[in-house]
Structure 1
Amino acid sequence: MTDTSRGLPERPMSPHLQVWRWHITMACSILHRACVVGLYAGAVLLALWALALASGHDSYALYTSVMGSLLGKLVLLGLTFALFFNIAYAIRQTFWDAGIGFAPKTADLTGATAIAFAVVATAVTWVIAAATGAL
């Protein structure tokens, strides 16, 4: 006869950040989600730019002064990084969709490459912008 009076069986705990060691693919996943949220905010800023442009000279001057401030440039720098990281991550995901690159070492390498590409491409973009007087 089966004894059912013991209640529910003890279940294992779900893995969490305290259980798993930190690794690059985890960082890439979290960074990708943050970058997508940032790109949504960038879309709002782009819509505000179009609204300011359509509203007249004073509105556009106010918008450009806000975005030209140190905080505005920092936001634009973050959006530049988010855009380049999202591009690199999408390429990485395309290979994953084809079943390529799931080996742990390959996944770590492509994650680090995506972050490095975003950093280098952001730096190059901002250096070119500064050299051409866009800043």
Structure 2
Amino acid sequence: MSDVGMKNSRPLSPHIQIYKPIFTMIMSILHRITGGALYFGTILVAWWLVAAAAGPAYFDFVNAIYGSILGRLVLFGFTWALLHHMLGGLRHFIWDMGHGFGPEAREWLARATLAGSVSLTVLLWIIGYAVR
């Protein structure tokens, strides 16, 4: 039994000051952030679809906003968030299948998720501009 009268100097629960940030932890946090960002991106997609249904004038207005430098930057970020969240989901699916739990495998999957999301985003945008 613990001594009730003793003052405990340890925290009652783990806190961010105790944990050393490791790459897989950062990727987990980033996965949650990109999931939240996808809500905002879905609103942008819905606005674009509503503009398409509203008529050519409003559709041109929305396309002008999305075609601006700031609009393209937001769409680039949405593309990256979508791909990063998807690859993070595949990483979790691999874990759900019972694989990739070793330290090297976890680290490799986390790095592959980041590298893959950045690479696929750039590749997708290059293809998009080439087709356009």
Task: Name the aligned partner's letter for residue 38 of structure 1.
Answer: A
1:60-99 matches, cutoff 5 A: 60-99=59-98
Distance of 2:24 and 2:64 partners within structure 1: 38
* Offset, 1:100: 1.3
Task: Give the alignment's TM-score, normalised by structure 2.
Answer: 0.89
Matched, 1:12 2:7: no
Instruction: Name the structure 1 match of 2:116.
Output: 117
In structure 1, stretches of 5+ residues that fail to align are none
Distance of 1:41 and 1:16 partners within structure 2: 29
Distance of 1:10 and 1:18 partners within structure 2: 17
Moved over 6 A (4+): none
Instruction: Name the structure 2 match of 1:26.
Output: 25
1:89-122 residue CA offsets vs partner (Å, 9 max, x unmatched) = 1111011112211112211110000000000000
Distance of 1:90 and 1:38 partners within structure 2: 15
Distance of 2:104 and 2:18 partners within structure 1: 21
Instruction: Name the structure 1 match of 2:36.
Output: 37
In structure 2, stretches of 5+ residues that fail to align are none
Over aligned residue pairs, what C-alpha RMSD do you find? 1.7
* Identity score, percent: 35
